[in-house]
Amino acid sequence: MAYPITDIRGIGPEAAAILKSEGIRTTISLLRSAKTPKQRLKLAEVIGTDRERVLDWVTAADRMRVKGVGWEYAELLRVVGVKTVQELKFRNSQKLVEKMQEVNKRKMVRLLPKEKTVGRWIESAKKLPPLIRY
């Protein structure tokens, strides 16, 4: 799924304007433009930020490729330890839901996903090719 880059929290109006001037308007175009460490460093220099922040944006965009995972669920996945689609492939849906329930006491998301939904995310992740290189 492709979302506007502004859906990724942390990409403010200034960074979004710079990204758009570089032809990066969606999460998918961000992934394509920043999939390697060298590309992320270059993009960080253009934006005027550090490469770790750009990597955070890219991994969020990666998680958002999974069908049904928008920004809120992408962030919830990050907090429970799932940084990329590659990591999601190997997770147990029941244990993942239990961790989500535990961390959502801070009310990160309004509605926690059911185990069946998380299972679909895992199956969807298995079908997605890796895009990020480290």
Three-state secondary structure readout of the chain: CCCEHHHCCCCCHHHHHHHHHCCCCEHHHHHHHCCCHHHHHHHHHHHCCCHHHHHHHHHHHHHCCCCCCCHHHHHHHHHCCCCCHHHHCCCCHHHHHHHHHHHHHHCCCCCCCCHHHHHHHHHHHHHCCCCCCC
Other C-beta atoms closer than 10 Å to the C-beta of 80 total: 19
Could you report the per-residue pLDDT of 25-72, keeping only the tens digit for each? 999 999 999 999 999 999 999 999 999 999 999 999 999 999 999 999
Could you report the per-residue pLDDT of 85-114, keeping only the tens digit for each? 999 999 999 999 999 999 998 888 999 999
CA distance 73 to 109: 7
Q: Which residues contact 127 (CB under 8 A, 6 or more apart)?
A: none
Could you report the per-residue pLDDT of 11-38, keeping only the tens digit for each? 999 999 999 999 999 999 999 999 999 9
Q: Which residues contact 52 (CB under 8 A, 6 or more apart)?
A: none
Tell me, yes or no, if the pTM score tops 0.75. yes
Angle between helices 37-47 and 13-21 (to 10 degrees): 120
